[in-house]
Chains A and B, each alone.
Chain A
């Protein structure tokens, strides 16, 4: 998604950068790509779960973000994910929110 105007369709997110000389990416071959997507879903879920949201991979091409009541959004990348999450829950997803950080710290033990 374009960070400026919210238009969908832009590929090449930095977390999925195309494999080029000098670029750090795990978007290299199908195995690495799938492994990374599974790990990404797990990482994001640790945060999204605190908002009552569930993320899953969809066919290795998109992600499906759902609320407990079944409202669903399909997202392309992590940037799009947070905008969609805020839309679904109707409030900001702020990583600097002390309540969120406190919950993560408590979960870390």
Chain B
């Protein structure tokens, strides 16, 4: 451990997914990868018996079990304390040095407060950063519950489990793409899972797929993409997005995109989950020849037309931007 230096910001990944969708199985597969040997795992248990804990004995040195119930509603403070405790022990050399934390939530947890805990806590946000959110989806039981729909909507990576047991996953895949058009998806039963691709990187390619708004089978949750010609005023965009999230944050399950910002030769990537917006990332280069600002929204009950018109009205005084057709 003498030559180990902890990364300046240790990534915190969240593995979520509905009850029985294979979160722990996925975690076991990931932890078998030598690349993840220095990973600390935090598991939240819903119930009195921490069965999952016994499945992950290999990492017991840096594992803590959060026992007080559903992660989203009762133990934000406990999660914060648990991560700070791990950090403290790492600094003192009490636990093996780790380069990553993976939090496995309960199947009923709303991912947002978990993410918010890392970003809102003054200590945590100076030592940790949010990594990818990985959502497991049970191919047999599909997306039946509001919790699972939200978990899919906020995911950076999707893992479809039990595909060997399901007869036809095409309708479920179509549902998933309605909710989250751009997150890379793995089929756990048939594909090798590349731990590095799952946990790291690639989160700033938000517009691989540009969906048209369609009637969603998930009630009011739907995804759509907007594109704007011209350079936009970053400050005015901030005024608009903070105002939108203040009033409709609970309904904006996710907003993600690349912006052509006036005064910046390279694009700025933004990424938000409900009320939480990650620090904007200044990309080194444009991902392709398209210089339009592009935004993907996954929203619950908000209309695409209203958002597009509002954003254009806010930005136009300072920026000559025009809504553009999405290819």
> What are the residues of chain A within 8 A of B279 when measuring CB–CB?
12, 14, 17-18, 20, 23-25
* Residue among A81, A98, A101 with the highest chain B CB neighbour number at 10 A: A101
Return A11 CB to nearest CB of chain B, in Å: 7
B246 and A93 contacting across the interface, CB-CB below 8 Å: yes
> Which residue from B264, B274, B278 sits with its C-beta under 8 Å from A14?
B278
A83 and B246 contacting across the interface, CB-CB below 8 Å: yes
B236 and A24 contacting across the interface, CB-CB below 8 Å: no
B residues 265-293 in Cβ contact with A at 8 Å:
268, 274-282
> What are the residues of chain B within 8 A of A40 when measuring CB–CB?
235, 238-239
> Which residue from A12, A18, A81 sits with its C-beta under 8 Å from B242?
A81
User: Number of A residues contacting the other chain (C-beta, 8 Å)?
Assistant: 41
Interface string of A55-88 (1 = CB under 8 A from B): 0000000000000000000000111011100100
Rounded to whole angstroms, the CA-CA distance of A10 and B116 in the bound complex is 12
Q: Chain B: interface residue count, which band?
A: 35 or more
A92 and B247 contacting across the interface, CB-CB below 8 Å: yes
Residue B186 is within 8 A (CB to CB) of chain A in the complex: no
Rounded to whole angstroms, the CA-CA distance of A11 and B261 in the bound complex is 24
Residue A2 is within 8 A (CB to CB) of chain B in the complex: yes
B275 and A4 contacting across the interface, CB-CB below 8 Å: yes
Indicate whether A96 sits within 8 Å of B244 (C-beta atoms), given known contacts A4-B113, A10-B120, A14-B277: yes
A43 and B242 contacting across the interface, CB-CB below 8 Å: no
B316 and A108 contacting across the interface, CB-CB below 8 Å: yes
